[in-house]
Amino acid sequence: MHIKKVVDDIYRLSVNIEDKNYLFEGIWPIPHGISINGYLIKSEKNVLIDLTQDIFNFPKEISHQMEGVTMAVEDVDILVINHMEPDHSGWLREFCKKNSKAIIYCTKKAIPLLEAFASVPPERAIAITDGMVLTVGDYELQFFDTPNIHWPETMMTYERKRKILFSCDAFGSYGRIDEDAIFDDQISQEKHKFFEEEALRYYANIVATFSAFVLKGLEKLKGLDIEVICPSHGIIWRDNPAVIIEHYKRYAEYSKGPAEREVTVVWSSMYGNTKQVLNLVIETLRKRGIPVHVFQVPGDEIGYILASAWKSAGLIFGMPTYEYKMFPPMAHTIEELMVKKVTNKKVFRFGSYGWVGGAQKDFEAKTEKSGWDVLGHYEWQGAPTDADKAAMQQALDAYCDTLIAFAK
């Protein structure tokens, strides 16, 4: 890839992770890749905002891109570290060996991490204070402490004259970036839809746990006149940055409920007896005009289930009893939903059991602190009878009535 001008002497430096087998954070599948963006300001002192990960020869690629504006690593005078997670700072150790003069600006909480992750002594860093302004030639960089979006040491950097927000992980998304389409006004409507879906999945996977901090961060940024958003992952928003800000506000507010009037159905079946009523569940929801998203475990990736569940006002789980408890893959899925604080949901559970039940008791015990409103459940022994299906229908109708009233 080549270095790309954002405006004036501000440039984007970027690489794409394109290995389909690569798991982001060692967990999340990224079949469409992801970009890692840093930004360079050429001035009387040269400023580099965020680095890259030390994989796939990325440091060499970023160094090569800098040569496109006749700069080398040694020419950087100021290094702004918005976030110490290694996808942004993995190059820091080698960068500081090659460049011994650059002063690092970061939060106070980041300074111990410089040494822990990269053996960089604290003497090389200046701890910012919230709202602090650093003037570099014609550029005015204002730093904002935005903790837990999504590590405690995270901050954002705002260039006051050009009204550009370097937002780090906030307002980012999965998805590789084409070299000739790095801005929101350079992509098609279809691509906009793709990046919205990948922004939601990125949010649900990476940021969702900290939604309360996201809302605090958005409140802090409310007074800024933002004309361009430069995130660390994804496209640059220059035509209409309010779009991605509104998306993130909506994603964060899903944590308080209600979310969208739709249902995520997650099901498991050992021998097909629980599966026998799956179509009844799906058809009932659709007949009531409720969009439904269906996932099977094991099988479907938890990252996609999280994104759908985060956006949905309703959750329905179908699972059999397994050794007096929930079917283990479903138990793991539910645990992940709770870790990510997928809360304020209207919930229903159904499933078959063999010699004796137990899944419902286990489900209730493990979801007691989930913040879910469990509206009902239905279980049967062995294969479902016509009477079981009729009872399920009645329970589902009542569930739909409550969900529709909840998420108007």
User: What are the pLDDT digits (tens) for 279-309?
Assistant: 999 999 999 999 999 999 999 999 999 999 9
Beta strands in 30-177 (DSSP E): 34-41, 47-49, 78-80, 103-106, 125-127, 133-136, 139-145, 155-159, 164-168
Determine the average pLDDT of the residues in 42-70: 97
Task: pLDDT band for 408, please (50, 70, 90 cuts).
Answer: confident
Question: Over 80: is that where the pLDDT of 384 sits?
Answer: yes
The tokens for 318 are 């179908």
DSSP SS3 for 271:
coil
| Angle of helix 302-311 versus helix 189-202 axis, rounded to 10 | 100
| Mean of per-residue pLDDT scores for the chain | 96
Residue 399, pLDDT score = 98
Task: pLDDT band for 257, please (50, 70, 90 cuts).
Answer: confident
The values of phi and psi at residue 219, to 5°, are: -65, -40
* Degrees, nearest 5: CA angle 123-127-130: 175
Task: pLDDT band for 170, please (50, 70, 90 cuts).
Answer: very high
Angstrom distances, CA of residue 238 to CA of 218, 225, 405: 18, 12, 39
Contact present, 379 and 357 (Cβ < 8 Å) = yes
For residue 96, give the H/E element and its range: helix 92-98
Question: Over 80: is that where the pLDDT of 345 sits?
Answer: yes
Angstrom distances, CA of residue 260 to CA of 264, 288, 291, 407: 11, 15, 9, 7
Closest alpha carbon to 195 in 236, 228, 157, 254: 236
Residue 279, pLDDT score = 97
Task: Specify the residue for token string 């304020």.
Answer: 344
Determine the average pLDDT of the residues in 75-86: 97
| Angle of helix 242-253 versus helix 189-202 axis, rounded to 10 | 40
For residue 289, give every residue at least 6 positions away whose Cβ sits within 8 Å of its Cβ, in sequence order, or none.
none
